Structure 1
């Protein structure tokens, strides 16, 4: 229908989405949605978040959610090790708190 916005996730769509909870300052948190895990990890490594706190995955059809912060932190650390680079400062708190 004209003038009615379409939903981001169509009704009944079987999708797993990823949400990064990012602390902008001591009082403010923002949740940023990504549609795939690789983009989520790449954006974290690229410094697209100021102070990532947690990464949550959820499935729109199966109605489950999971805190995958530990898995994501491990993947970031492994990629830095493989590439022979130091963990970026902006990710050190996130990785240390979930390792």
Structure 2
């Protein structure tokens, strides 16, 4: 019996995805192109206010066979980078407040 092709991306780096709260519309994982799923791109997009209400961030690496919730790790990294930015988006401030409660 022929095997179907894998739907798992063949990426050699850790992949980060954001669960965003869209209010009445509910929560959904935000779409991202393959090139924009690394840690630095995620941090940049958060600080550029590209997510309205991020509530959870997960990372995975299919080549290494792991996945985990990295919400608190990303929140800590954002706090360390605050000094580099004059204005921190309100979406990031709200994200940090909720990440603390985890």
Deviation of 1:84 (Å)? 5.7
Q: Match of 1:95?
A: 96
Q: Secondary structure at the match of 1:62?
A: coil
Task: Please give the TM-score of this superposition, normalised by the length of structure 2.
Answer: 0.74
Q: Match of 1:31?
A: 29
Question: 2:18 matched to 1:17?
Answer: no
Equivalent residues, number: 92
Task: Please give the TM-score of this superposition, normalised by the length of structure 1.
Answer: 0.76
Q: Match of 1:58?
A: 60
Equivalent residues of 2:14, 2:39 under 8 A apart: no
Equivalent residues of 2:19, 2:54 under 8 A apart: yes
Alignment CA distance shift 1:54-1:8 (3 Å): same
The answer for unaligned runs of 5 or more in structure 2 is 1-5
Match of 1:68 among 60, 67, 70: 70
Q: Secondary structure at the match of 1:72?
A: helix
Cα RMSD (Å): 2.4
